[in-house]
Amino acid sequence: MKQYKFSFIIHKKTIMKICQVHPGCGIPVPPPNWGAVEKIVWEFTQNLRLLGHEVDIKYANEINPGDYDIVHVHMANLANFLHERNVPYIYQLHDHHAHYYGKNSFVFNENLKAIQNSQVSLMPGRFLVPYFDTPKAVYFSHGVNTDFFKPNNNRPKEHKLLCLANNGLAGMNGYDRKGFGFAIKAAMAKNLPITIAGPRNNENFLNENPWVYAYPKLNLEWEPNQEELVDLYHRHTIFMHPSELEAGHPNLTILEAAACGLPVNGWIEMETDFDGMWRAPRVVTELVRGLDDIINNYELYREKAINHAESLSWLNRSKELAELCKNHIKA
């Protein structure tokens, strides 16, 4: 079937007609509180429009071949659905399960099929490029809204630690993937207040580990909306992230925390150089060493974290995405 292209040139600038495919997970775009993929879809939509492109958000079943220059899809099942409808697409992977469950799993093979049938596929971590072992896979990092997530000079007088995450894997909510237990023990060792925040299903891990409730400086905050999220970062000074597994290197919460001026402690497996971060394994003594170094050199860590986050603004990520899309239109 012949594909019709709608891109045109204005003052030597390629204007593209782009569709961001709605994830269709029951969460609106933009999300009112939790919803990482929905947030990414919204940020790309807003920033690509700022760059002058025509951008729609549509469900996969509303898209026909030739409707758009670029169709940008974020879920493997929707990418495979579009392929069946002969709709060319760019795929962006967000699913850590594909790596966690291994190459014999359904989720890996579903993602591999989506990648192989794409025009190009964006991997949020470099390790995923050789893992899927196809030339269609390229590294493309996440971004952060630096107009919304930005530093606040009215910082707490004493250091306060923050863990903000959706802990666990699907069906395994008691599993401490994000390292809440390690972060709490590090806080206890330093006698520092710590907040665990995110979706309420984080309580599953805490309830299976009732020892955490014995720490009097533990604070819990569930289901923050976007404005409350910024306030949450501003009320803390150090972001704890002793995670075991992530797809995004760096992930959204690390970028948001850094943009708000919080140095990051944890996650030695993170492969991307990230200024303002102490890399520590999931060992309490090492996390404590990280806390000591961050506290003793706080302003340096804070400045580096802010600068690194600003370099990865969603506007900058959207410019890179647009350039990648233009190359595929030319091809």
Q: Which fold has domain 8-143+313-330?
A: Rossmann fold (3.40.50)
Q: In the predicted model, is pLDDT for residue 291 greater than 70?
A: yes
Q: What CATH number labels 161-311?
A: 3.40.50.2000
pLDDT above 60: residue 56: yes
**How long, in residues, is the chain?**
331
Give the per-residue pLDDT at 248.
66
> What confidence tens digit (pLDDT) does each residue in 119-177 have?
999 998 888 899 999 999 999 988 999 999 999 988 888 999 999 887 765 445 567 87
243: Cα separation from own chain's centroid: 13
**Does residue 3 surpass a pLDDT of 50?**
no
- Residue pair 192/175 in contact by the 8 Å Cβ criterion: no
Q: Provide the pLDDT for residue 204.
A: 84
**Gap between the Cα atoms of 109 and 79, Å rounded:** 13
Is the distance from CB of 178 to CB of 243 less than 8 angstroms?
A: yes
Cα distance between the two ends of the chain: 17
Which residues belong to CATH 3.40.50.2000 in the chain? 8-143+313-330, 161-311
Residue 255 has pLDDT above 70, yes or no: yes
Nearest to 39 by CA among 202, 248, 195: 248
Q: Tell me the average pLDDT across 16-21.
A: 96
Q: What is the pLDDT of residues 175-194, one digit of tens each?
A: 787 889 999 999 999 999 99
Nearest alpha carbon to residue 262 among 312, 299, 290, 288: 299
Residue 93 predicted with pLDDT over 90: yes
Region class of 11: left (phi > 0), else alpha (psi between -120 and 50), else beta: left
Looking at per-residue confidence, does 75 or 272 come out higher?
75
Which stretch of 1-5, 60-64, 211-215, 264-268 has the lowest confidence by average pLDDT? 1-5
